[in-house]
Every structure is written in structure tokens, then in C-alpha cells.
Structure 1
Amino acid sequence: VSICYPKTDDSHFDMAYYLATHMPLCRDRLTEFGLTDIGVDKVIANGTPGAAPVYAAIGYLTLESLEGFQTGMKAHAREILGDIPNFTNVEPVVSVSRVEM
């Protein structure tokens, strides 16, 4: 699962809170549903030289199955999603994918 946080002229993103509070919350709530790894990228540049980054950060959740993710989010979405305003004022773009390589 990739969670991308858009960067705009009026957006803010508190990386310290995200690392110290939000991602540990996700780990705590989703481990019983098959979460095996988490990761965070701080976006520092765009692929086009001189262009502003599209995202401020990208979070990653690796789970054993789609069903585990869906069940875990059904159980804990209110708490996990409810924490988002504590570190950003943008709506994340979520993509669920299967690692092929």
C-alpha cells in the first residue's frame, strides 16, 4: 500500500509527527492483520530538473494479503484516518498494489 501526500502551495506536512506517531500507530493496529513492514520516503525532488515535487512524503505498508489490509482498515480506519489532520492538511492518494519484483 502506497500512501502519497500531495505537496501544494498551501499544504503542510509534519514529518516528525508522521514518523514518531502516525506510522507507529499504523504498525500497532495492522500487525495482527498481516502487516510485515512499513517505510517512509521524504520526497526531495521531482523527476524533472527544476520542477517542484508533487508529493511531500510517501508512506508504505507491506501486508501479507489484500484481505488483511481491508479487514484491518475496516477495524481501525476511524482511528488511523482520524489521525491524518494531526500531521497534514491534504487528502492522501492511496494505491494498493502487489509487488512483482
Structure 2
Amino acid sequence: MIKVSILYPSKPSSRFDVAYYVDVHMPMAVRLLGDALKAVSVEIGIGSAVPGESAPFAAIAGFTCDSVEAFTAAFTPVAGQLQGDIPNYTDIAPVIQISELKEI
């Protein structure tokens, strides 16, 4: 299993519309990526380890899939649509990481 993490680093002057992201963008992503997704998570940053300090990320999305190939096969045909929607909720350039999940 792999996890594709999409991280939106917080910046002082950045814009991130949480309602649009949660209510419009992510449901669209789930619909478009379909059966390739085994689990989906959304995290909205509210703070850091230092009390009163801003969260390092405005948001983090996680897509769990069977393999990189399964994710790529689902994502490639709809990449333009998903990436084209980014300006509707943020001006932050996302950072993407693909990780192998390990059982503990």
C-alpha cells in the first residue's frame, strides 16, 4: 500500500479556502479517482508543537492506494481537472510525497 500526501505549506500571506476544499474539491477528487482510492483523509492545520505558533501546513490530504501504478492510472486522465481547480481554493503550490505504508 502507498499513500500520496498533498501538503500545502502555510505562508503568512497565503489563501486557503477550507470550505471549498472540503465540500467541493475533495469530493470531486474522490469521484474522479474512484476505485483506486482505498482511504482518503483531510487534515486542516490548527497549530504546531509550539503553543500559539501557526501550523506548518494549511492542509494535508492523503490518498491511500494499492500501488503507485494504481494511483497513476487513476490520476493521469483527470490530472488537468484536479490541478485546474487548485486556484479556486488556494494560492499555495502543493508539495506531493508518495510513501510506502508499513504495518506496525
* TM-score, with length taken from structure 1: 0.91
Match of 2:5?
2
What is the SS of the residue equivalent to 1:59?
Answer: strand
Structure 1: 4+ residue segments shifted above 4 A: none
Q: What is the CA–CA distance in structure 1 between the aligned matches of 2:17 and 2:91, rounded to whole Å?
A: 10
Structural mapping, 1:1-101, within 5 Å: 1-32=4-35, 34-101=36-103
Q: CA deviation at 1:83?
A: 0.6
Give the distance between the partners of 1:14 and 1:56, measured in 2 at CA.
Answer: 10
In the TM superposition, what whole-angstrom CA distance separates every residue of 1:59-84 from its partner, at most 9, and x where no partner exists? 11111211011112211100011111
Amino acid at match of 1:93: V
| RMSD (Å) for aligned C-alpha atoms | 1.2
The amino acid across from 2:67 in the alignment is S
Q: Is the 8 A contact 1:13 1:89 kept in 2?
A: yes
Identity of aligned residues (%): 37
Distance 1:11 1:28 in 2: 27
Deviation at 1:51, TM superposition (A): 3.0
